[in-house]
């Protein structure tokens, strides 16, 4: 395995290995113990879009591991002036030991991966967000002590985070129900892939029905980066697709509420659900750091 571009690049065994390593790294960090297996290694971080969690957790993660991270805003490098993705990948491979990229088009990541001789990691594309989902699985494991045989419920847009979660649920053996307004269902290619991986997937437009007996309730923004022009329409179309006290009430008593953040209280999640006793959203955010350090070690320690 060279790259992490899609959640489907990972087997169940890879996921288990990453989660175990992440838990170990997290424990050691809390004790002030240093694991610096990426000494003298450099990571390039290409960003076409904004980021708080992904950028900071990767940069701190590289620093923790003894390496160095270089933030590359796509407007500041020649890619922004038309240098091809292919040439950029080939050149960066001569300097760096790994690349992460947050891009509009998933195809950019595929091209980077195909032309770079070093690992390429998806830091979010229009189709997927696998690093987020690894942190989510780590969080679920911490709270539930397992990652399989549960009911996972997605409420909201059938977007990039939803696609990676569907694939992940299929790989680890969790049932997933996606509740989204008509017209905002996940991409058919991801539905097919999820089923090919053995996933148990239901798509509905009834969030209350979906939430019944849920072990996990998860949502994300109604307007993703790149969808800003549709904001007004989306705010109308998504009304009612909110994680709130009503949905929590029909879920399992120990349901956990998840959100990849950034959150919009009163839109996709009520303030009470986000701040209440079921919410694990800030643990999720913290776990980005630990899960990604495990990915960096898995992919780059041998580089």
By CB under 6 A, name the one of 29, 51, 60, 208 that touches ligand CP.
Answer: 51
Quick check: 43 and 62 in contact, CB under 8 A? Answer: yes
In sequence order, the β-bridge partners of residue 279 are: 257
For residues 129 to 158, the per-residue mask of contacts with ligand CP, x marking binding by CB under 6 A and - elsewhere, is ---x--------------------------
By CB under 6 A, name the one of 54, 108, 159, 242 that touches ligand CP.
Answer: 54
- Length in residues, the chain: 303
What does the alpha-carbon distance between residue 289 and residue 248 come to, in Å, rounded to a whole number?
Answer: 28
Query: Taking CB under 6 A as the rule, does residue 73 contact ligand CP?
Result: no
Least spacing, CB of residue 132 vs ligand CP, in Å: 5
What does the alpha-carbon distance between residue 96 and residue 94 come to, in Å, rounded to a whole number?
Answer: 6
On whether 131 is known to bind a ligand per the annotation, the reply is: yes
DSSP string, 267-290: TTB-HHHHHSTTB-HHHHHHHHHH
Q: Which residues are catalytic?
A: 102, 129, 132, 220, 260, 288
Pairing of strands 42-47, 175-179: unpaired
What does the alpha-carbon distance between residue 267 and residue 206 come to, in Å, rounded to a whole number?
Answer: 17
DSSP string, 232-267: HHHHHHTTT--B-HHHHHHS-TT-EEEE-S---BTT
Query: Taking CB under 6 A as the rule, does residue 124 contact ligand CP?
Result: yes
Question: Which CB atom, from 93 or from 132, has the smaller least distance to ligand CP?
Answer: 132
Helix (H, G, I), strand (E, B) or coil at 217: strand
The residues in 211-250 that bind ligand NVA, with binding defined as CB under 6 A, are: 220-221, 224-225
The item of ligand NVA, ligand CP, none sharing an interface with residue 52, based on CB under 5 to 8 Å by kind, is ligand CP
Binding part of the chain for ligand NVA, among 57-65, 156-164, 206-214, 295-303 by CB under 6 A, reads 156-164
On whether 132 is known to bind a ligand per the annotation, the reply is: yes
By CB under 6 A, name the one of 10, 121, 161, 299 that touches ligand NVA.
Answer: 161
Nearest to 260, CA basis, from 224, 290, 220, 223: 220
What does the alpha-carbon distance between residue 243 and residue 270 come to, in Å, rounded to a whole number?
Answer: 6
What does the alpha-carbon distance between residue 125 and residue 47 come to, in Å, rounded to a whole number?
Answer: 10
Least spacing, CB of residue 303 vs ligand CP, in Å: 24
The item of ligand NVA, ligand CP, none sharing an interface with residue 220, based on CB under 5 to 8 Å by kind, is ligand NVA
Interacting residues toward ligand NVA by CB under 6 A: 124, 159-161, 220-221, 224-225, 260
Q: Which residues are annotated as a binding site for L-ornithine?
A: 160, 220, 224-225
Interacting residues toward ligand CP by CB under 6 A: 51-54, 124, 132, 260-261
Q: Which residues are annotated as a binding site?
A: 51-54, 78, 102, 129-132, 160, 220, 224-225, 260-261, 288
């Amino acid at each position: 395995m060279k790259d992490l571009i899609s959640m489907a690049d990972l087997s169940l065994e890879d996921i288990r290995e990453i989660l175990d390593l992440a838990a170990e790294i997290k424990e050691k960090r809390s004790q002030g113990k240093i694991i610096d297996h990426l000494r003298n290694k450099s990571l390039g971080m290409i960003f076409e879009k904004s980021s708080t969690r992904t950028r900071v957790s990767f940069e701190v993660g590289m620093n923790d591991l003894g390496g160095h991270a270089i933030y590359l805003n796509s407007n500041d490098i020649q890619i922004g002036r038309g240098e091809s993705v292919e040439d950029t990948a080939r050149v960066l491979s001569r300097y760096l030991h790994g690349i992460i990229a947050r891009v509009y088009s998933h195809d950019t990541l595929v091209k980077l991966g195909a032309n770079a001789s070093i690992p390429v990691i998806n830091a979010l594309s229009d189709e997927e967000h696998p690093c987020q989902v690894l942190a989510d699985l780590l969080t679920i494991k911490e709270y539930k002590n397992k990652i399989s045989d549960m009911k996972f419920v997605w409420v909201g847009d059938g977007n990039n985070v939803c696609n990676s979660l569907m694939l992940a649920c299929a790989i680890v053996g969790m049932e997933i129900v996606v509740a989204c307004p008509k017209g905002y269902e996940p991409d058919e290619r991801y539905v097919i892939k999820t089923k090919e991986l053995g996933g148990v997937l239901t798509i509905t437009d009834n969030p209350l029905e979906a939430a019944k007996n849920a072990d996990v309730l998860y949502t994300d923004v109604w307007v993703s980066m790149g969808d800003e022009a549709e904001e007004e329409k989306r705010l109308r179309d998504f009304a009612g697709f909110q994680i709130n006290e009503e949905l929590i009430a029909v879920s399992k008593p120990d349901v956990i509420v998840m959100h990849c953040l950034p959150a919009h209280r009163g839109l996709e999640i009520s303030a009470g659900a986000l701040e209440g006793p079921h919410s694990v959203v800030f643990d999720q955010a913290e776990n980005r750091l630990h899960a990604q350090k495990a990915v960096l070690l898995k992919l780059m320690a041998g580089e």
